[in-house]
Amino acid sequence: MAAGVSPAAAAPAIATPDEQLAPTPRRAWTARLVTTATIRSKPEADAKPIGRIAPIAVWNGGVVRLLVLGRHAGVDGRRWLRVALPTRPNGSDGWIDADVARLSATPWRIEIDLRARRGSAFRDGRRVRTWPVVIGTAATPTPRGLFAVYERVRQPLGSELGPWALHITGHSDVLDDFGGGPGRVALHGRAGALLNDPLGSAASHGCIRQDDGVIAWLAARAGPGTPVLVR
């Protein structure tokens, strides 16, 4: 967990046997990796491996929690989790052995309305906060889809990105690289020259900007794996 973040962001819980684990407006499940996970194309031990994900995040060294999209029990009793992947193309998912992860439930959900240029935070399906945002330009649009927080990265003092950047599993559809990363989209604050772009405008490379107070509030609640719906 990143320093200074409330542990209440994701409340540990045990899934019931009939729980399908797909995200709902009231709750989502996250899978905290306890070891490097092999991603497979199907919930089968001999299915094609399509990648591997380490349990330690790249930027901040924190834990990796993946948004769970479903679960499958094989005829051999082995359990599998379908998870949203932090890789291209956007919307990628795959299957991991449930034994390499620990499940937790989160009541938090973030939604970004690109048309209205506003963000909203929901807890247990109830909207608890809404705020104006800066979104991507027409040439570098913010991608739409269901994503998840991948890393919470505290920014250095005086950063134009404000105090926090919440990297999500989505990537720019037109840029392969920006900000020193692989074109990954983030929710972050705004300071310095970024204040020249008013809230409610379309001026970013695809990231979603909000006031520093808002991003600090989100960072204390939306831990890795928290759903982020951009529509």
Q: Which CATH architecture has domain 108-230?
A: Beta Barrel (2.40)
Look at the domain 9-106 and name its fold. Answer: SH3 type barrels. (2.30.30)
- Domain residues of the chain, as ranges? 9-106, 108-230
Tell me whether residue 207 is one of the annotated catalytic residues: yes
Mark the ranges of the chain whose per-residue pLDDT is less than 50.
Answer: 1-12, 16-18
Active-site residue among 167, 171, 188, 205? 188
User: What is the structure's pLDDT at 60?
Assistant: 86
User: What is the structure's pLDDT at 102?
Assistant: 98
User: What is the structure's pLDDT at 179?
Assistant: 66
Largest Cα–Cα distance of the chain, in whole Å?
Answer: 59
Say if residues 91 and 74 touch (Cβ distance below 8 Å). Answer: no
In order, the DSSP letters of 143-187 are: PPEEEEEEEEEEPPTT-TT-SEEEEEEEE-SS-S-BTTBBSEEEE
User: What is the structure's pLDDT at 4?
Assistant: 41
Q: Using one digit for the tens of pLDDT, what is the confidence trace for 110-127?
A: 999 999 999 999 999 999
In order, the DSSP letters of 49-77 are: EEEEE-SB-TTT--B-EEEEEEEEE-TTS
9-106 and 108-230, same CATH topology: no
In order, the DSSP letters of 181-195 are: BBSEEEEE---GGGG
Active-site residue among 72, 171, 205, 207? 207
Q: Using one digit for the tens of pLDDT, what is the confidence trace for 33-48?
A: 999 999 999 999 999 9
